[in-house]
DNA sequence: CTGAGCGGATTGATATACTAGTATCCAAAA
DNA sequence: TTTTGGATACTAGTATATCAATCCGCTCAG
């Protein structure tokens, strides 16, 4: 792994504070920048499960001291992406096979709640926003851009949470999706799968637009069942990546 | 706020590493000890919402350097108990009124899932464990010990998650319950409420024991609806505590 | 030849020192 | 009297130094 070393002055030319949910006024700090980089690297499997992370080495690569690196690693540990063994070392977490079924259960439970409520109260504008996301997904599928496609996939589910008025649920879902997505990233993105995802999204969208709670729930449940990665197969392909 | 200053040697006489879920080998560290203390202080409202927390002052009170204090504060910030404004200050978070309805929704969604699955697969031993918890609750109610009662209440819900085989759901529930409990702590514990909680727990327990999924779900939903704190009233009693 | 014990090297944990941004307060001018 | 400008003090962010624990390899005794 190589990282572009960052200037210490980076935080001077930062944009105005973000007033996101919860009134976080936190600006871009060195620690959080490193967190983002490592987070992306682990999620994209550029850093493979099991490899050692050394505070000192990372600090040198980024051109900063160990303190912000340590802060970033602590946050990654809380997210479950790295494991810190005191006085021993820090390693990229293996993908926790055992946790994935539960993660799927949690997703189903929470997304069921959001999609039901969204179907009840969605406005025309909300539907338009979903349509826009699906349209972008079609483009990415046609151009075979799995990464951007996945981003829009996240946007779709986030939009539903937003429609339901449950932004907090989305932040929980994000953390739950982490490990699932890491496993899924191992499977080659299949062209056909993207198309069926779009179809499933369309079904969900239609049910929400029709305020049909039952169909919305059913469509979402089928959708979520379809995206469960085949762990056993992956375990064979990538031994040592799982716990 | 006053804290007992801690000996630097505290971590020497620590018990063997904990092998909790996820193979965390993390021992008791200064930072986590401080985290626990602050966590408890904020949750018990010994530290009122809005008051300023200064890394330096806390470090002096605990007799440690700023580094572990800072680590603890970062974790508290992630849990939503404090808000860190860079180069400005750290403050105990106000109780986020707007988030409480959503928190209740999340609880209902997840606890519905756990109680349903628990009702399906509970064994006699599981029921015995629930009975033991309820028995302890009776004692604490009789002796009017709200704090211990609340601990056993948590244990009851945790036990159901454990029966269902969803320990991850419990850890999510814990973080979601945080703000709810903080609001609830403002209401004086009423003797009668403890008794009705026990009754509701009994109903849930009976439904689980009978493998009656529908009744288990219904009882749990009623139970969770009953514990919603009356925010409007609290807002009048404690202005400035809420966001 | 084998194994226990010692010692050095590595690295995580903590402490301290330093930098830079923010807010407040006071004084001076309108 | 009010407003604005600057100086000051305080706080979080970062860097560096020091401490301590664990691990690995080597040596020496059996």
Tens of pLDDT, residue by residue over B118-146, are: 999 999 999 999 999 999 999 999 998 98
Output the pLDDT for position A189. 65
A35 and A76 Cβ atoms separated by less than 8 Å: yes
- Residues of B near A (Cβ–Cβ under 8 Å) read 22-27, 29, 67, 71, 74-75, 78, 80, 83-86, 96, 99, 102-103, 105-106, 108-110, 112-113, 117, 165-169, 172, 176, 243
Output the pLDDT for position A26. 37
> Residue B62, SS3?
helix
Tens of pLDDT, residue by residue over B170-191, are: 999 999 998 888 888 877 666 6
Residues B105-111, mean pLDDT to the nearest whole number: 97
Tens of pLDDT, residue by residue over A74-130, are: 888 888 888 887 777 888 888 888 888 999 999 999 999 999 999 999 999 999 999
Higher-scoring residue by pLDDT: B190, B27: B190
CA distances from A153 to A43, A103, A123, B225 (A): 16, 18, 21, 33
Output the pLDDT for position A20. 27
User: Is A168 within 8 Å of B71 when comparing Cβ atoms?
Assistant: no
Tens of pLDDT, residue by residue over A118-174, are: 999 999 999 999 999 999 999 999 998 988 999 999 999 999 999 999 999 999 999
Q: A71: which chain B residues are within 8 Å (Cβ-Cβ)?
A: 71, 74
Estimate in Å the CA B55 to C1' D10 gap, whole number: 12
Tens of pLDDT, residue by residue over B185-234, are: 877 666 678 899 999 999 999 999 999 999 999 999 999 998 777 777 77
What is the spatial distance between Cα B161 and Cα B170, in angstroms, rounded to a whole number? 6
User: Angle, nearest 10°, between helix axes B191-209 and B146-164?
Assistant: 20
Burial class (CB in 10 A: 0-12, 13-18, 19+), A153: buried
Which of A20, A22, A170 to substitute to test the interface with B, most B CBs within 10 Å? A22
Estimate in Å the CA A35 to C1' C27 gap, whole number: 45
Which residue ranges form the domains of chain B, and what is each CATH number? 8-92 (1.10.10.10), 99-237 (1.20.120.530)
CA atoms B67, B73, B77, B82: torsion sign: negative
Output the pLDDT for position B24. 33
Mean pLDDT of chain B: 83
Q: Across the strands, what pairs with A85?
A: A89
| Residues 38-77 of chain B in contact with strand D via CB under 7 angstroms | 53-56, 66-67, 70
| Residues 7-46 of chain A in contact with strand D via CB under 7 angstroms | 8, 11, 26, 29-31
Q: B167: which chain A residues are within 8 Å (Cβ-Cβ)?
A: 102
Looking up tokens 């949470």 gives A161
- B125 in contact with nucleic chain D (CB within 7 A): no
A187 has pLDDT over 80: no
Estimate in Å the CA B20 to C1' D23 gap, whole number: 24
């Amino acid at each position: 792994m190589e990282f572009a070393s960052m200037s210490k002055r980076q935080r001077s030319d930062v944009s105005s504070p973000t007033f996101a949910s919860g009134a976080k006024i936190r600006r871009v700090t060195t620690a959080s920048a490193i967190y983002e980089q490592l987070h992306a690297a682990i999620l994209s499997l550029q850093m493979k499960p099991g490899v050692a992370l050394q505070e000192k080495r990372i600090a040198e690569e980024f051109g900063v001291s160990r303190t912000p690196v340590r802060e970033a690693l602590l946050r990654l540990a809380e997210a479950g992406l790295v494991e810190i063994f005191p006085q021993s070392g820090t390693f990229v977490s293996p993908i926790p096979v055992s946790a994935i079924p539960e993660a799927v259960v949690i997703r189903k439970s929470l997304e069921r709640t959001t999609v039901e409520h969204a179907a009840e109260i969605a406005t025309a504008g909300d539907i338009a926003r979903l349509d826009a996301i699906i349209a972008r997904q079609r483009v990415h599928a046609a151009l075979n851009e799995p990464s951007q496609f996945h981003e829009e996939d996240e946007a779709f589910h986030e939009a539903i949470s937003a429609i339901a008025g449950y932004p907090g649920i989305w932040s929980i879902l994000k953390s739950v999706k982490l490990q699932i997505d890491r496993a899924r990233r191992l499977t080659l993105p299949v062209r056909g799968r993207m198309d069926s995802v779009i179809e499933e999204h369309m079904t969900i969208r239609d049910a929400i637009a029709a305020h049909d709670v039952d169909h919305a729930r059913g469509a979402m449940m089928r959708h979520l069942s379809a995206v469960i990665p085949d762990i056993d197969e992956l375990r064979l392909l990538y031994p040592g990546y799982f716990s």
